[in-house]
Amino acid sequence: QVQLVESGGGLVQVGGSLRLSCAASGRTFNNYAMGWFRQAPGKEREFVAAISWSSGRTYYADSVKGRFTISRDNAKNTVYLQMDSLKPDDTAVYYCATAPDVYTIVDNRYDYWGQGTQVTVSS
């Protein structure tokens, strides 16, 4: 009932920036949260950031605090991830996700997720 489409990934050098977008469509609920997780080859999926759709409260993984910023546009049903000061360890496929609440996303559990967008940071 929910479709998520990520965009904005690409190749950047260390210290560069990217802005990811996630457009949501289908049935949504005001009390649901949205966020981002990532997966690199040979690694477990990792929570990146989450935002409460209604309140705008945000949560971040320790590894990205101070460098990434999550935001949302309620009118456009879109969530963004601004990534600055990128490091090689940020290289991964980034997925947009939704869940009943932000705590679920922080715990790496999701109801829906998109196809992902590749982010590659070269050193």
Q: In whole angstroms, what is the distance from residue 91 CA to residue 120 CA? A: 5
b/e map 34-53, b = 16+ CB within 10 Å: bbbbbeeeeeebebbbbbbb
Q: What is the pLDDT of residue 54?
A: 81
Amino acid in the structure at residue 18: L
The answer to whether 38 touches 117, Cβ cutoff 8 Å, is no
Q: What is the pLDDT of residue 31?
A: 58
Give the residue from 63, 65, 68, 59 showing the smallest Cα distance to 18. Answer: 68
Output the tens digit of pLDDT for each of the chain's 123 residues.
789 999 999 999 999 999 999 999 887 665 589 999 999 999 999 999 999 988 889 999 999 999 999 999 988 889 999 999 999 999 999 999 999 888 998 998 988 899 999 999 998
